Each structure stands twice: as C-alpha cells, then as structure tokens.
Amino acid sequence: MAEVRSVGEGEHDDNRRAIIDLTTGGRHSRAWLDRMVAFSRRESTQEAFAGAVESWVGDDYLGEVGRPETPVACLVGETDPALSAEVMRQSWMQIYPDVTLVELPHCGHYPMHETPVWLATRMEAFLAEH
C-alpha cells in the first residue's frame, strides 16, 4: 500500500491512486484503482478534492449544526482507516445524539463503488426504521 504525504498530492494520478488505495484498505486491483482515479478526475476538480479534506479537518461542524435531534445513520467501511468506526465515535457520534453506526463489511471509503447493493440495503433498512 502506497504512502500519502499530503492532500495536495491528489493532483497527480499516482498520488490520487495512493489515496484511494489507502482509504480502501489496499485490497483492490490496479485496474479498479485506475477506474476510480479516472472517475475522480472526471467528476471532481483538484480544488474540490483538496477542499473536502480541508473541510473535514478544519470546519466546526458542531458550531454550525448544534445538536440536532434527527436520527442519523453513520455508515463506514470496515477497511477505511481514514474514516473508521472509531473516528466516527470520536466525531459524528459526539455531535449527534441519535446515531446508528453501521460498519460495512468488505468495504472501504467508497461503498457506492465497492458494495453498492449492501450500502443501499443498509440505507433502506435505516430509513424504514425511522
């Protein structure tokens, strides 16, 4: 699994591939990673890519949303070291009082690409319960 040194490195395909590989647990093929890099390039800009990480690290979500009572499903991939279940326990679950944490098996940071049917099933189950 490749090491990622900084978010800005996402501007180069090899570095963006390394970020995707890291956040999916280093378990997908080079062909899948190449498709994800191409998808990322096609569907986002470098500014959006860098801004997403800056927002996650720097924005004060608690200050912006307060403590909403809305039930929230927090779905995380079991092989995503960046946004793991433990990270969610220390972040989102501290903000929202009514959180259901669901760890998606055999999945990293991109469940909509890695396990789409399982993701949709979990989302539908949560919505049916609430």
> Is the confidence at residue 6, as pLDDT, over 50?
no
Strands (E), the chain: 72-77, 99-104
Task: Please tell me the predicted confidence (pLDDT) of residue 1.
Answer: 47
- Tokens at 5, concatenated: 């040194």
Alpha-carbon gap, residue 18 to 72, rounded angstroms = 30
- Whether 20 and 40 have beta carbons less than 8 Å apart is answered as yes
Task: Please tell me the predicted confidence (pLDDT) of residue 11.
Answer: 67
Task: Please tell me the predicted confidence (pLDDT) of residue 37.
Answer: 95
pLDDT digits (tens, 9 = 90+) for 83-122: 999 999 998 888 888 999 999 999 999 999 999 999 999 9
> Is the confidence at residue 58, as pLDDT, over 60?
yes
Q: Residue ranges per domain, the chain?
A: 1-59, 63-130
Task: Please tell me the predicted confidence (pLDDT) of residue 3.
Answer: 45
Sign of CA dihedral 56, 61, 62, 67: negative
Sign of CA dihedral 19, 26, 106, 103: negative
Whether the model pTM is above 0.85: no
Task: Please tell me the predicted confidence (pLDDT) of residue 4.
Answer: 43
Burial zone of 92 (CB within 10 Å; 0-12 exposed, 13-18 middle, 19+ buried): middle
pLDDT digits (tens, 9 = 90+) for 20-34: 999 999 999 999 999
Task: Please tell me the predicted confidence (pLDDT) of residue 10.
Answer: 52
Of 74 and 10, the one with more pLDDT: 74
